[in-house]
Amino acid sequence: MEIPVIRNLLEANEREANTLRTRFAQAGVLVLNLISSPGSGKTSLLERTLTDLKARYRMAVIEGDCMTDNDARRVAATGAAAVQINTDGGCHLNSAMVGQALAHLDLNALDILFVENVGNMVCPVEFDVGEDAKVAILSVTEGDDKPEKYPRLFQEAKAAVINKIDLLPYVDFDVAKASAQARALNATAAILQVSCRSGEGLDSWYAWLDAALAAKRKG
Amino acid sequence: MHEMSIAQSLLALVEQELQLRPGSRCTVIRVTHGALANLVPEAFELAVEALTIGGPMQGVRLELRLLPLRLKCRACGHEFEPEQKRLGPPLYPCPQCDEELGHTLVQGKELFLESLEIETD
C-alpha cells in the first residue's frame, strides 16, 4: 500500500532555523552566515572587521570547525565574544548547533552576529541556521571558476567577497571572469574585492554591513 | 557527507509515519530531489543502507526522483527547463527571448519524502 507523505527532509532543521530567526529579529541582530572553502580568509576577514568596527558595532562570532578552537581564539583576541562549535568531522553547521551556541551569547547586547561555517562550499548552503544573509567568500589563490563550480552558494549569497586581492599580480585569477559568473547566477548580489592583509577594499565590505544592518532594523 | 545527515532526517520521518500505523513495515521510500539540492544518489543510498542494517527497516528500497531545474525569465516571464550544464559558464539563455541574466528559480531546490510503500501484518 502506498502512503503519500510529502514532508521536507530538512524540516527539523528548518523549524529550528525559523525559531532562531524569530529570536534574532526580536533582538534586532543582523546574522550573517559566512561560507567558503577552507583557507579563503573567513577568519581573517572577521579579525579585520571586528577590530576596525569595534567602536561602531557590538559583534560576536560563532565559529564552526571540525576540530580545534584555534579560530575562536583568534577572534577572541580582538575582544569580541566567540563561541566555538566543533562538528567532529561534520561538514556543516546546522540550526540545532547554532541554537546551542546561543546559550553563551547575549543577543540583546549585539548588533551583528557572524556565523563562520565549516570550510566547504556545498552542504553549508543547504542548512539554514536562521541567518539574514549568506556571504560567499572566494580568494584569488583559488580558481576563478568557483562560482560556476558551486552555483548554489553564489545563487543564494547576498554578497560575494573576493579576498586576497593584494596577491593578484602573482596569480592567474581573472576577477572579471569570476565576477561575471557570480553576476550570471545572482543579478543583485554585491560583489566586493578586498584584501584583509593590505586593507584595500574593506570599506566596501563595511558599507555593505552598514546597509544590511540598517535594512534589518527598518524591517 | 551531508547525505548522512539527510538520511538520518529521512529515517526519523519514516519512523514517525510508521508509528501512526502500528504493525506496518516500510518496504519502499520515495524521495524527490531537485537538481540543485546537491544530493548525490550513491552516497545517499549508502547512508540509508548503513543506517538501517540490523534494524526493522533493513533492506528498505530507496526510489529517488530528480526534479529538473526550472527557471522563469526575468525579461519575458517565460518558464523553461534548461539543460543542466556540466561545462561552460552558468548561463541559461531564455529559449523565447535569449535573456541570460536574472532568472528566478521556479524549481530545483526541493528535497522531500514523497511517499512510502508499506505492508501491514
From first to last of its 121 residues, chain B has per-residue pLDDT tens of 689 889 999 999 999 999 999 999 999 999 999 988 889 999 999 999 999 999 999 999 999 999 998 999 989 999 999 876 655 556 788 999 998 888 888 998 899 999 999 998 7
User: What's the mean per-residue pLDDT of chain B?
Assistant: 90
Give residue A120's domain range. Answer: 12-214
| pLDDT recorded at residue B67 | 94
**Residues of chain A positioned with their CB less than 8 A from the CB of B116:** 2-3, 5
d(CA A203, CA A218): 22
Chain B contact for A13 (CB, 8 A cutoff): yes
In 3D, which of B62, B64, B96, B63 has the Cα closest to residue B82?
B96
| pLDDT recorded at residue B52 | 95
CATH number of the domain bearing residue A69: 3.40.50.300
Cell of A47: 579579525
CB under 8 Å to A191, separation ≥6 — which residues?
A159, A160, A162, A179, A182, A183
d(CA A32, CA A83): 15
- Provide the number of structural domains found in chain A: 1
The number of CA neighbours under 13 Å toward the Cβ of B118 is 19
| pLDDT recorded at residue B86 | 54
Contact between A63 and A75 (Cβ < 8 Å): yes
Q: Determine the distance in angstroms separating the CA of A180 from the nearest CA of chain B, rounded to an integer.
A: 9
Closest residue in chain A to residue B101, using alpha carbons only: A184
Chain A contact for B38 (CB, 8 A cutoff): yes
Chain B contact for A11 (CB, 8 A cutoff): yes
B2-68+107-120 has which fold?
Answer: hypothetical protein PF0899 fold (3.30.2320)
Cell of B29: 521510500
| pLDDT recorded at residue B84 | 66
Chain A contact for B75 (CB, 8 A cutoff): no
H and E: helices and strands count for chain B: 2, 6
Q: Determine the distance in angstroms separating the CA of A51 from the nearest CA of chain B, rounded to an integer.
A: 34
Chain A contact for B1 (CB, 8 A cutoff): yes
Residue extents of the structural domains in chain B:
2-68+107-120
Residue A125 lies in a domain: yes
d(CA A5, CA B115): 5
Residue A30 lies in a domain: yes
Residues in chain A, pLDDT under 50: none
| pLDDT recorded at residue A162 | 98
Instruction: Give the phi and the psi of residue B9 in degrees, each rounded to 5.
Output: -60, -45
Q: What are the tens digits of pLDDT across the range B42-56?
A: 999 999 999 999 999
Residue A219 lies in a domain: no
